[in-house]
Amino acid sequence: MLSALKFRLARLAASLVVIALCGLAANVAADQGQHPGFSYHSVGDTKAETPAHPTFGLMLMGGGDWVDDAFHWFVKRAGGGHIVILRASGDDDLQRRLYDSIGGVRSVETFVFSKREAAEDPFVIQAIERADGVFIAGGDQSNYIRYWKGTRLNAALDRHVREGKPLGGTSAGLAILGAASYGALDGGSIVSADALARPLGAGVTLDTGFLHLHFLDRVITDSHFGKRDRLGRLIAFLAKAQSTHLVEHPIGIGVDENSALCIDNDGIGTLFTGSGGYAWLVQTSTPPGKVTMDTPLSWTGIKITGIGSASRVNLQTFAVENPAFERTADVEHGILSLHEGAESAAPSASRREKQ
């Protein structure tokens, strides 16, 4: 009798263990794929210990192809630990490349957002809080602003950087890293000629109060810079930000495709490029001329400094050591002209920007 009872209890205990394990497996499986407002993908061991202590870093990537050297820098800053990728389109292709090709990380998780409420989801927030590095993919930056600004996710990203962990972004992900972001909230992507013609127009959609990043508190960023002739529109962004007091004494940083400006904890920026690209530092010494809704911009004496792979830029002083090129830009009635500065081997920027 007693033996039969023991046998039944043992069978019951075994059944409970199987049920618990099946439930755990179901929960793990449920994590992958669709959730309310987002989809989730992961690779690697998200519970593994991070090999080294993460250190602060900002990776400003200009879009186009990945720059492997920049991602090796980013992974090292993340201590070889756990990376979270945030995006609002696409799937898990970036995490596979980061985990399999770049390597050196314990895990990569990807969250693809489709609704704002997902930025309040505890599962999302916990992943960001335990992440050693966060990377924001390209796409449409208006979605990032609409989905994330003012949410728990927004606060978690700010906290992530304050805790001394690296953050990076490419293309649309770069656009939102500055003190004021070109949000493309009108559904378009303004070109230089239109931005210079109407710097206060509806198409120049600058958004503030989103991310608050050390060394970028006066910076407005732009991507795909030389290839898409974006110097003019970045100057227009600066004009709007300064004339409407969105940012006091703003500075522009544009990054070419296949290039990344990586900023360390001392504020020193190093450019990695796979195609001979540059980061473009845009500085003004005087306020713009009168800026009104329908008046083309006039602004002279704008300093343009090229940051190449042999250069170093100090994001505390904005001094550039060994600049790749130096130019002066003038805008007269919405028409941009560039003038040669110091000797350099850079391609002629004046041929790149035509209004």
The backbone torsions φ and ψ at residue 300, rounded to the nearest 5 degrees and listed phi first, read -120, 165
| 140-196 residue pLDDT tens | 999 999 999 999 999 999 999 999 999 999 999 999 999 999 999 888 899 999 999
* Residue 18 neighbours by CB distance under 10 Å: 10
pLDDT per position as a tens digit, 252-291: 999 999 999 999 999 999 999 999 999 999 999 999 988 8
pLDDT tens digits for range 128-142 = 999 999 999 999 999
Helices (H), the chain: 2-31, 68-77, 93-96, 122-130, 141-148, 152-162, 172-175, 192-197, 231-243, 349-352
**pLDDT(4) > 50:** no
Domains of the chain: 40-352 (3.40.50.880)
Question: In this model, does residue 29 exceed pLDDT 60?
Answer: no
Distance from chain centroid for Cα 151: 17
Of 54, 109, 114, nearest to 88 (Cα)? 114
On whether the pTM is more than 0.75, the answer is yes
Where does residue 342 fall: left (phi above 0), alpha (psi -120 to 50 degrees), or beta otherwise? beta
Q: Tell me if residue 208 falls in helix, strand or coil.
A: strand
